[in-house]
Amino acid sequence: MEFKLRVSRVLVTGGGSGIGKAIAKALLDEGCYVCICGRNLEKLEKVKEEFGNDRLSCMQWDVRDVSLIWEKINEAASLCGGYLDGLVNNAGVYVSHHNWKPWNETEEEWDAVWDTNLKGPMFLLRKFATYLNNNHIKGNIFCVSSIESRNYNIQGSYQGSKYAFSEMVRSHAKKVLNLGIVINGICPGIVASSLNDYNAGDPTKSCALGRILSPEEIAACALFLMSDAATICCGEMLDASGGFYAAF
């Protein structure tokens, strides 16, 4: 089945590695203009050099700094040829919970996780939707959460922030669909990425699929939800975990 993307000029947060990088590559392969952003400009420039694609640009920005959102949206729009019609709201951070004792989290760790995983992405989602509406653009916002948002035994900042993010994405999506703005997302399982420290573990215990997932597999799901094949999806947070909880 062939499908057509609903986006052509896309800002990807956390695009310097892992899932963000893979989604950026998939979008480029489909002919999109893409601007990746993150805290480490050197890492972003290495991705640009690696991909060797003139439709890729990079921009330094820590999403925790919500005061810069409008400036960075406009900068990314300029880098992508004048406007944006897509956002991949992917930036996230994971802090190891001291041998799974989250009650030992420091205040600094807690704030870093919640500001990166929830505060920054939610203000970005709202202002990007406003940007689209103000410019009469029918666009797409795609959000990356975590399968841990399905774990209701919330003990630490990572699980809590991802649970809140997923729920807020669902509620916000219903408010803007009638404006032609489609918001969906994904809850990846254990992915080969620098974000987490699961990779050294036994993959047969991670999920029913019996292996660690690849960023490219998550990117394939992302493209589906940003395409016209998913027009009936609104506020959906797709579990893409290889049967993570089924393995326990």
List the domains of the chain with CATH numbers: 9-247 (3.40.50.720)
Angstrom distance (rounded) from CA 74 to CA 55: 17
H helices of the chain, in order, are 18-29, 41-51, 69-79, 107-114, 120-134, 157-176, 215-225
Unique residue bearing structure tokens 């990166």: 116
Q: Is the pLDDT of residue 218 over 60?
A: yes
Please tell me the pTM assigned to this model. 0.92
- In the predicted model, is pLDDT for residue 66 greater than 90? yes
**Residue in the block written with tokens 């963000």:** 20
| 169 three-class SS | helix
The pLDDT value given to residue 94: 81
User: Binning pLDDT at 50, 70 and 90, where does residue 248 land?
Assistant: low
Query: In the chain, what is the straight-line distance between the N-terminal and C-terminal CA atoms, in Å?
Result: 34
User: Are 21 and 47 spatial neighbours (Cβ–Cβ below 8 Å)?
Assistant: yes
69-79 helix and 120-134 helix, angle to the nearest 10 degrees: 60
* C-alpha separations of 66 from 9, 44, 57, 143, 247 in Å: 22, 20, 21, 17, 39
Lowest mean pLDDT among 23-32, 77-86, 105-114: 105-114
From edge to edge, which strands make up the β-sheet containing 33-38?
Answer: 56-60, 33-38, 9-13, 86-89, 140-144, 182-188, 237-240
148 Cβ partners below 8 Å, 6+ apart?
158, 159, 162, 163
Residue 39: count of CB within 10 angstroms of its CB: 17
What separation in angstroms does the CA of 60 have from each of 115, 124, 241? 17, 15, 30
Per-residue confidence (pLDDT) for residue 100, from 0 to 100: 54
Task: Say if strands 86-89 and 140-144 run parallel, antiparallel, or are unpaired.
Answer: parallel
**Residue 211 confidence (pLDDT):** 84
Per-chain mean pLDDT for the chain = 90
Percent of the chain residues past pLDDT 70, beyond the cut: 88
Query: Residue 153 pLDDT > 80, yes or no?
Result: no
- Tokens at 56, concatenated: 């890729």
Select the more confidently predicted residue: 1 or 88.
Answer: 88
